[in-house]
């Protein structure tokens, strides 16, 4: 198994995995247009992979991506007397069903945790599903209270 950052050659696989992840947890989306989604997602991924803001970590077996985690770096406003480091927003954490419960996702997360420390990012934030809370806890994440939200109407 190989662990690495995603590249442009991975876009088609990442699009399909995002689709599969969504459908697995929300079957009401099955009737949506894959072609429209593919165009939107491809545009996003091309931009993300060419930025210094997004990092998509993958686990690969024989050129097939079996797990991925997306990280967006959020820059903070500088504060006097303190060196400012970005924090990381983790999202789209997914392992294909046949590779689940074998430690693949935890290996990717461990790699990311090491990368976070090495780059002095301040912290990582993730909004886990109820099913994923134990996964994060066993990987040293702390469950915190929810942030406040505003939804414009």
Question: How far is CA 128 from its chain centroid?
Answer: 11
pTM: 0.92
Burial class (CB in 10 A: 0-12, 13-18, 19+), 37: middle
Q: Right CATH number for 2-137 from 3.40.630.30, 3.40.50.1000, 3.30.450.40, 3.40.50.2300?
A: 3.40.630.30
15 pLDDT band, cuts 50/70/90, is very high
Mean pLDDT of 91-108: 95
Interacting residues of 76 by C-beta distance below 8 A, sequence separation 6+: 84, 85, 86, 87, 122
Assess whether pLDDT exceeds 80 at residue 146.
no
pLDDT at 145: 77
Assess whether pLDDT exceeds 90 at residue 106.
yes
What element of type H or E holds 137?
helix 133-137
Assess whether pLDDT exceeds 90 at residue 147.
no
Assess whether pLDDT exceeds 80 at residue 30.
yes
């Amino acid at each position: 198994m190989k662990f690495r950052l995603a590249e442009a050659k991975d876009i088609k696989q990442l699009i399909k995995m995002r689709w599969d992840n969504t459908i697995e947890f929300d079957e009401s989306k099955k009737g949506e247009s894959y072609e429209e989604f593919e165009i939107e997602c491809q545009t996003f991924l091309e931009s993300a992979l060419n930025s210094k803001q997004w990092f998509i970590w993958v686990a690969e077996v024989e050129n097939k991506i079996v797990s991925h985690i997306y990280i967006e770096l959020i820059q903070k406003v500088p504060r006097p007397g303190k060196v400012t480091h970005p924090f990381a927003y983790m999202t789209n954490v997914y392992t294909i069903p046949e590779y689940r419960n074998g430690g693949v996702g935890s290996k990717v997360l461990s790699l990311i945790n090491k990368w976070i420390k090495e780059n002095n990012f301040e912290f990582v934030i993730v909004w886990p599903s109820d099913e994923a809370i134990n996964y994060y806890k066993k990987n040293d994440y702390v469950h915190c209270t929810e942030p406040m939200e505003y939804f414009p109407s």
